[in-house]
Chain A
Amino acid sequence: EIVLTQSPDFQSVTPKEKVTITCRASQSIGNRIHWYQQKPDQSPKLLINYASQSFSGVPSRFSGSGSGTDFTLTINSLAAEDAATYYCHQSSALPITFGQGTRLEIK
């Protein structure tokens, strides 16, 4: 099973700040990493697929990068509505696995 480790687990940030969330895979997965945003009491929403492709309708301040084992989700100029938990997800091999999540709090 491929283990995904996100960091940090929690971050308190101010609006307009730049945020970087990392996701490290226990083995090389190419670009088969995807990122989701989950707000309280809502289902997850796709932000980025295949490491760097923005999903339709996602604000341009969200971007992704990386390949192999190390991946990054970047939020430029954080907005108040970005308070949420963010998850990475690998689809390189079954079983599909998720990172443990990174919770962003807006100060």
Chain B
Amino acid sequence: QVQVVESGGGVVQPGRSLRLSCAASGFTFSNFAIHWVRQAPGKGLEWVGVISYDGRNKYYADSVKGRFTFSRDNSRNTLYLEMNSLRAEDTAVYYCARGLAVAATYFDYWGQGTLVTVSS
């Protein structure tokens, strides 16, 4: 069955970096865009950005542009989110979600999320 599994979360100090991973299985990973969505504790959903099926196109929310970078390794069915210059407001559960495309798509499968806490 379709699965996406995030990992790499943890506690990190402000200004430091962290890399999240999203491992996929049960579908042809290289055919799908993957979106990142985060949820601060007790808050709603916030789109972080997307990487296209081939990794050539990436779009970021303004709140993370210039600090976060998406990449993917289709040979390993794995996606990466490199987060730099982390801020307290980046504290959230980070989900990866499968999309048919970069835009004009719904998210049919989500991972269980990984918690990132930015705190000194």
Chain A residue with minimal CB distance to B110?
A: A43
A10 contacts partner chain B, Cβ-Cβ < 8 Å:
no
B27 contacts partner chain A, Cβ-Cβ < 8 Å:
no
The residues of A that contact B102 with a CB separation of less than 8 Å are 94
Please report the C-alpha to C-alpha distance between residue A87 and residue B37 in the assembled complex, in whole angstroms.
13
Give, as a whole number of angstroms, the nearest-CB distance from A30 to chain B.
9
A3 contacts partner chain B, Cβ-Cβ < 8 Å:
no
Interface residues of B in 83-117 (CB under 8 A from A): 95, 97, 102-108, 110-113
Could you tell me the dominant secondary structure of chain A's interface residues? loop
Q: Give per-residue flags for A35-68: 1 if the beta carbon is below 8 A from chain B beta carbons, else 0.
A: 0101000111110011000010000000000000
Chain B residue with minimal CB distance to A100?
A: B44
Decide if B108 touches A46 in the complex (CB within 8 Å). yes
The residues of A that contact B45 with a CB separation of less than 8 Å are 36, 38, 44, 87, 89, 98, 101
Given contacts A43-B95, A43-B112, contact A89 B106 (CB under 8 A): yes
Give, as a whole number of angstroms, the nearest-CB distance from B21 to chain A.
16
Interface centre among B44, B50, B62, B102 (most CB of A within 10 A): B44
Please report the C-alpha to C-alpha distance between residue A44 and residue B109 in the assembled complex, in whole angstroms.
9
The residues of A that contact B107 with a CB separation of less than 8 Å are 34, 36, 44, 46, 89
The residues of A that contact B112 with a CB separation of less than 8 Å are 42-43
Please report the C-alpha to C-alpha distance between residue A97 and residue B37 in the assembled complex, in whole angstroms.
10
B11 contacts partner chain A, Cβ-Cβ < 8 Å:
no
The residues of B that contact A99 with a CB separation of less than 8 Å are 44
Q: Give per-residue flags for B15-32: 1 if the beta carbon is below 8 A from chain A beta carbons, else 0.
A: 000000000000000000
- Partner-B contacts on A (CB < 8 A): 32, 34, 36, 38, 42-46, 49-50, 55, 87, 89, 91-101
- 29 A-B pairs with C-beta separation under 8 A: A36-B45, A43-B95, A43-B110, A44-B95, A44-B97, A44-B107, A45-B110, A46-B106, A46-B107, A46-B108, A50-B106, A55-B108, A87-B44, A89-B106, A91-B103, A91-B104, A91-B106, A92-B104, A93-B103, A94-B59, A94-B103, A95-B47, A95-B59, A96-B47, A96-B103, A97-B47, A98-B44, A98-B46, A101-B44
